[in-house]
């Protein structure tokens, strides 16, 4: 006989106030195995319920209690509350801007010059803020994708060794693909955790992502590749601009620096 499960007519008890929650009741037919009956109820009962049907409050499945009521017949009671159960997770993200200092533009749009001094405006190959002594550059806003995950973990998982692992991974960039991002794109910003009344842990993990880029051009230097959290800087040299009859600063070399250590962020187990 196949196992069948249905919600009872007198199900869906609700409570409001300081400790809102719900109960749902199910009947399972066709098995004498309590585990099989419990799994049937687990498959039928939602993990989370919109308590007021307006999105203002969610209640989470906390427990399933089974009681035999006849031959191959079970009653299952499922209880819900606002406490997120162990092994549940919450995800969030934010797009924003960080700042970085650059000395090269993407493109020189226009140049204006004093006709008495130059035949044409000097060509600095995209260098920004050129002076007699060097290249000053400017600060710009760059896109940064930040995301966070909150996980509810059992105390057997959050050991002193695990906390030490999180400490060691903070400030590291992923050495392997992680959360759908290529190696080099995700920076682990750190985690914060607190133990809840039930004994499990609520841990929030914070990350920032910056894309890898390839084929950059810096002045006349092409084919530059840079991973998301590497730092690019440019060394300049003096050069003659024969058209403008002027001495200019132009990119002489491009350098890509690793400024963060790398690690396998998947070791966090989330």
Tens-level pLDDT at each residue, the chain (270 residues) = 699 999 998 898 888 888 899 999 999 999 999 999 999 999 999 988 988 888 888 888 889 999 999 999 999 999 998 888 877 777 776 666 667 777 766 665 554 555 655 566 667 777 777 777 778 777 766 777 899 999 999 989 999 999 999 999 999 999 999 999 999 999 999 999 998 877 889 999 999 999 999 998 888 889 999 999 988 888 888 888 877 777 888 888 888 888 899 999 999 999
The predicted model scores a pTM of 0.64
Burial class (CB in 10 A: 0-12, 13-18, 19+), 235: exposed
Cβ pair 249, 134 in contact under 8 A: yes
Tokens of 130: 């050129």
Q: Is 238 left (phi over 0), alpha (psi -120 to 50) or beta?
A: beta
Q: Name the phi and psi angles at 35, rounded to 5.
A: -60, -45
Give the pLDDT confidence score for residue 188 in this predicted structure: 95
Give the pLDDT confidence score for residue 248 in this predicted structure: 82
Residue with tokens 């710009």: 140
Domain boundaries, the chain: 4-81, 89-95+142-210+263-268, 98-137+212-262
Half-sphere exposure for 90 (CA within 13 Å, toward CB): 12
């Amino acid at each position: 006989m196949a196992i069948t499960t249905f919600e009872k007519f007198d199900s869906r008890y609700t409570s409001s106030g300081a400790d809102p929650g719900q109960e749902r009741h199910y009947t399972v037919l066709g098995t004498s195995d309590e585990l099989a009956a419990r799994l049937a109820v687990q498959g039928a009962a939602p993990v989370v319920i919109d308590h007021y049907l307006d999105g203002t409050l969610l209640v989470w499945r906390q427990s399933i209690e089974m009681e035999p009521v006849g031959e191959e017949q079970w009653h299952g009671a499922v209880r819900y509350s606002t406490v997120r159960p162990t092994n549940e997770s919450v995800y969030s993200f934010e797009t924003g801007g960080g700042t970085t200092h650059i000395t090269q533009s993407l493109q020189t749009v226009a140049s204006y010059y004093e006709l008495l001094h130059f035949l044409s405006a000097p060509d600095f190959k995209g260098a920004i803020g050129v002076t007699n002594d060097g290249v000053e550059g400017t600060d710009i806003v760059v896109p940064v994708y930040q995301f966070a995950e909150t996980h509810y973990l059992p105390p057997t998982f959050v050991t002193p060794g695990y906390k030490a692992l999180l400490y060691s991974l903070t400030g590291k960039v992923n050495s392997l693909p992680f959360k759908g991002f290529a190696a080099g794109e995700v920076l682990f910003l750190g985690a914060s955790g607190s133990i809840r009344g039930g004994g499990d842990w609520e841990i929030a993990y914070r990350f920032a992502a910056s894309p890898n880029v390839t084929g950059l051009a810096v002045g006349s230097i092409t084919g530059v590749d840079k991973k998301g959290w590497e730092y690019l800087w440019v060394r300049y040299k003096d050069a003659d601009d024969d058209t403008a009859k002027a001495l200019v600063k132009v990119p002489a070399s491009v350098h890509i620096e690793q400024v963060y250590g790398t690690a396998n962020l998947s070791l966090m187990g989330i």
